[in-house]
Amino acid sequence: MREPALHNQCVRVIVIGAGFAGLACADRLMSLGHEVTVLEARDRVGGRVWSQELIPGQPDTIVERGAEFVLSGYDVMHEMARRFDLQIAPSGMSYNVREPRNTSVPITSDEVATAARSLRALAEAADPQMTLPAFLGEHLRGSAAAEVIAARAAISWAASEEQLSCHVLLDAVASVQPMVTARTSGGNQGIAHALSCGLGDRVRLRAPASAVHTTDHGLRVHVLGAHLDADAVVMAIPLPLLETFDLQPGLPDIKRVAMTRMVRGNAAKLHVPLGAPAPTSAVLDVARRFWCWTATDASDRVQPIVHCFSGSAAALDGLEVTRGDGAWLDALTRLRPELDLLPEGALLSTWDDDPWATFAYSGLSASSHPGDEEIIHAPLGDVHFAGEHTAGEWSGLMEGALRSGLRTADEIHSRS
């Protein structure tokens, strides 16, 4: 990726948020010669990317409590992995191809793929503000394929299909075509750790910023009863937190309206250890709106874990995740009777109850307008905006977060 030319003026920048977007932004700014401070409310870096061992002391049980898969086109993430000598290893299964079970009428993944391929040209020609259910009703009314495609899209976008544009059928996130799927050896959070290590004491943990106000001399950031002054600020916090943040001057109405048109994802993950080896797999529970998989790590051996993901508020309610993992474990047992589950070691991860996230991730919706992406990430004076929600077609993805951070750093540098 081409670096912009260095200017002579050093800019004091405060980056709020040490997720992928904030860290990538700070790393790029530091390399361009600017003075950077990163404020992070949590006691760790990575934000919604969070890796840990399911069974402490067993490296083959690393799970992703947040974002997981490295998909086709993740060029920036691959570049960073090479830079930090981190291996991106095949998972032995495809994120995009899932065996559909628990459908009203039996159907195979090949039959779903055939139906999806037949719809691609039609979706491309359709109005992007046409919802996915309306489109499927017009072209696949009442079919099992439509049932599976709708469930697949709703889970991936972590939102009701009624909010989704039919154009999700053009995107790899809602695809059923086999594409290379990988994961970062040792966990995706390794990239956040490496970026943070390079930044050193420029990263301040347990330092929640509470306000950013414009003064006669620049910007003032309030944190823990004190304040820091800066020439520029990067807001690299999740969309819902940005909407309620004490920012003066406030967000203009045009930006707020564009932000409200975005899909707000509600999701949860469940990781369950296995008592016996299992082959790689990817299975979709169409009725209960979750999917599960078994996958290899960098050793090429299948992890002794089954991983599950559920998306949309209705799906989480159906699985009763606010009450714990009991209902989900029951559903998983029925869906995958061939697996030797060890439910006592299960780990449930949620975002909605995380005060520094409050949701899973975002995306453009059927109500989004052309130009919303530019409106959402446009700077407000010397306040700049990064994060997956500013990444347009890459919204909701690790790659989008990284790209947004680099874009914002270059934006600040070019204005310096």
Structure-token match 């050793």, residue found: 299
Is the domain of 220 the same as that of 162? no
Q: Is residue 87 part of a domain?
A: no
d(CA 273, CA 186): 17
Tokens, residue 33: 């010669």
Please write the tens of the pLDDT for every residue from 350-380: 999 999 999 999 998 999 999 999 999 999 9
Is the domain of 163 the same as that of 110? yes
Contact 222, 213 (CB under 8 A): yes
Structure-token match 């059923």, residue found: 176
d(CA 246, CA 261): 21
Question: What pLDDT does residue 304 have?
Answer: 97
d(CA 134, CA 120): 15
Question: What pLDDT does residue 6 have?
Answer: 45
Phi-psi region of 303 (alpha: psi -120 to 50; beta: other; left: phi over 0): beta
Residue type, 210: S
Over the range 120-152, which residues count as b (16 or more CB within 10 Å of their CB) and which as e?
eeebeebebeebbbbbbeebbeebbbbbbbbbb
Q: DSSP state, 252?
A: P
Helical residues (DSSP H) of 84-179, grouped into ranges: 109-125, 132-139, 144-157
Contact 319, 328 (CB under 8 A): yes
Report which of residues 177 and 234 the model is more confident about. 234
Q: Is residue 393 part of a domain?
A: yes
Structure-token match 């047992």, residue found: 333
Please write the tens of the pLDDT for every residue from 44-79: 999 999 999 999 999 999 999 999 999 989 999 999
Q: Is residue 314 part of a domain?
A: no
Q: Is residue 126 part of a domain?
A: yes
| In the predicted structure, residue 7 carries a pLDDT above the cut 60 | no
Tokens, residue 209: 């910023």
* Mean pLDDT value across residues 130-134: 96
Q: Is residue 54 part of a domain?
A: no
Domain final residue pick, 174, 202, 226: 174
Question: What pLDDT does residue 175 have?
Answer: 57
| In the predicted structure, residue 416 carries a pLDDT above the cut 90 | no
CATH assignment at residue 384: 3.50.50.60
Q: Is residue 137 part of a domain?
A: yes
Structural domain total, the chain: 2
Q: Is residue 58 part of a domain?
A: no
Domain final residue pick, 174, 204, 222: 174
The whole domain housing 123 covers: 99-174
d(CA 230, CA 141): 56
Is the domain of 249 the same as that of 127? no
Please write the tens of the pLDDT for every residue from 157-187: 999 999 999 998 887 544 566 777 999 999 9
